[in-house]
Structure 1
Amino acid sequence: MANDFRQSSVRLSCYSCPLRSMSHFRRFSEDELDFVARFKRGELSTDAGATVVVEGTNSAHLYTVLEGWGFRYKILEDGRRQILNYVVPGDLVGLQGALMAEMQHSVEALTPMTLCMFERSRLFTLFEKHASLAYDLTWLAAREESILDEHLLSIGRRTALERAAYLLAFLHERGRLTGLLDETRRYVPVTQTHVADTLGLSIVHTNKTLRRLGDRGMIRWLDRGCDVLDVEALCEVANWRPDDALVRPFI
């Protein structure tokens, strides 16, 4: 994929960050906010299809998604791709590269994205001087693990119809909580190829499965994505319920 992105200095102050006004995210203390504002080094803007971080590399930066959708993935040597998870505003990108020798997965933009850039070399100052923010990083890593647990359960034990219903309900919930979706905006920007690469299904099987959900009035498939029409019905088919809307941290 093309790496069509633009780095800039800080244009949006952490003190006026739109994520801070959302009830889904926990409040910073004044000291925490001051530190994060100094920790931030700029912003990265990407077009859809741009690769934000690449497996096997070691970036000098960490990123927090400010706007847009993206996804984490790994590729086998023969080109087959497995999408591991999706990223939305408030999610941290690049932590593996900060704590390990190199990134173990890649991240690509599904839509145009804006990400806040943080200098990796200053990460340990966060652990030394701001225990609450260090806890937040631990929380984010643990939350990612719990999401991957659910994804693995879905691939291993749910039927194709249940898998697709779960994925679209999951994406709708993540979009709703982070301001990407609401009662009038129901469009989830994933193609059938993205769905297939997430669920481990062939394109043909994915197409037939999504058509069944559409025939039941749960989704309406559009160009490069779908409208989620009945999220409750999707949850029932998947036998899945989102967690209670816990207040979550971000950096």
Structure 2
Amino acid sequence: MADKAKSSSTYSCENCPLRDRSEFRAFTKSELEFVRSFKTGELSVDPGSTVLVEGSHSAHLFTVLTGWGFRYKTLEDGRRQILNYVMPGDLIGLQGTLMGEMQHSVEALSNMRLCVFERDRTRELFSKHPDLGYDLTWIASREERILDENLLSIGRRTALERAAYLLALIHQKAMSVGLLNGDVRLPITQQHVADTLGLSVVHTNKTLKKLAARGFIRWLDRGCEVVNIEGLFDIAKWEGLTEECRPFI
């Protein structure tokens, strides 16, 4: 688990690479000072490692600084449902902070680096820095919005529409935070896609082949390249994420 693997900081909050990106709102001087004191260190996570475990009581919450991961739940027989994918700027562990126990797990898809924050100081964030408290609410609302769309996919979209929506969402999120600079591949396997869409691997494979045949994607070794995102939008009947500037902690 992540709590057992903390490391010293590589980046100061003043030199945080996320602050250089126009997609994220700037902190005020007092907010930056609080976040700097709120942060206790950074954590390096290897691919396939578990960051948080369902049912655990974590003393920390995390902001993704670099890399990819995903949230998921499992049944007793091992079947897995992937809920969402996390990328730089996303917050991990807020549920455990507010509810006391994690209701899902988080696993690293690639090498990840996380900023580590003290869970017990979350109330101070809300009481002394209401704008940062609003940011946490915005982040939680955005997550709810994405989960609503995912539920719509599983409940009402066809397999082809589900796959198109998922790949368009992951691609758009990754592009917005610079994850695809120099590498066009989404680092997911067909098993990840199947576990997200609620389909068998065989059905998923057939569905992805249809998208590839239409020239919308190209499946690579352990990953996927989106070639025509507008085509995916059209198939999914989805307009994409529309926020121009978003907060992070």
Length-normalised TM-score, structure 1: 0.96
Matched, 1:246 2:209: no
In the alignment, residue 131 of structure 1 is paired with which amino acid?
P
1:159 deviates by 0.5
Partner of 2:228: 230
Q: Percent identity?
A: 65
Kept in 1, the 8 Å contact 2:161–2:235? The answer is yes
Kept in 2, the 8 Å contact 1:42–1:118? The answer is yes
Matched, 1:105 2:104: yes
Aligned equivalents of 1:11, 1:128: Cα separation in 2: 29
1:96 deviates by 1.1
Kept in 2, the 8 Å contact 1:186–1:229? The answer is no
Kept in 2, the 8 Å contact 1:10–1:40? The answer is no
Aligned equivalents of 1:134, 1:27: Cα separation in 2: 15
Once the two structures are overlaid, the 10-residue window that deviates more, 215-224 or 104-113, is 215-224
Partner of 1:221: 219
1:245 deviates by 3.5
Aligned equivalents of 1:137, 1:245: Cα separation in 2: 16
Aligned equivalents of 2:16, 2:220: Cα separation in 1: 32
In the alignment, residue 127 of structure 2 is paired with which amino acid?
E
Query: Any idea what the Cα deviations from partners look like across 1:25-80, whole Å, max 9, x if unmatched?
Result: 01100000010011100001011100000000011110000001100000011111
1:20-59 correspondence runs (5 A): 20-59=19-58
Kept in 1, the 8 Å contact 2:172–2:241? The answer is no
Dislocated runs of 4+, deviation >3 Å = none
Kept in 2, the 8 Å contact 1:74–1:83? The answer is yes
| Cα RMSD after superposing both structures | 1.5
In the alignment, residue 153 of structure 1 is paired with which amino acid?
L
Aligned equivalents of 2:247, 2:216: Cα separation in 1: 31
1:81-230 correspondence runs (5 A): 81-182=80-181, 185-230=183-228
1:127 deviates by 1.2
Aligned equivalents of 1:70, 1:136: Cα separation in 2: 21
Aligned equivalents of 1:57, 1:158: Cα separation in 2: 33
User: What's the secondary structure of 1:41's corresponding residue?
Assistant: strand
Q: How many residue pairs are counted as aligned between the two chains?
A: 249
1:246 deviates by 2.3
1:186 deviates by 2.0
Kept in 2, the 8 Å contact 1:43–1:115? The answer is yes
Length-normalised TM-score, structure 2: 0.97
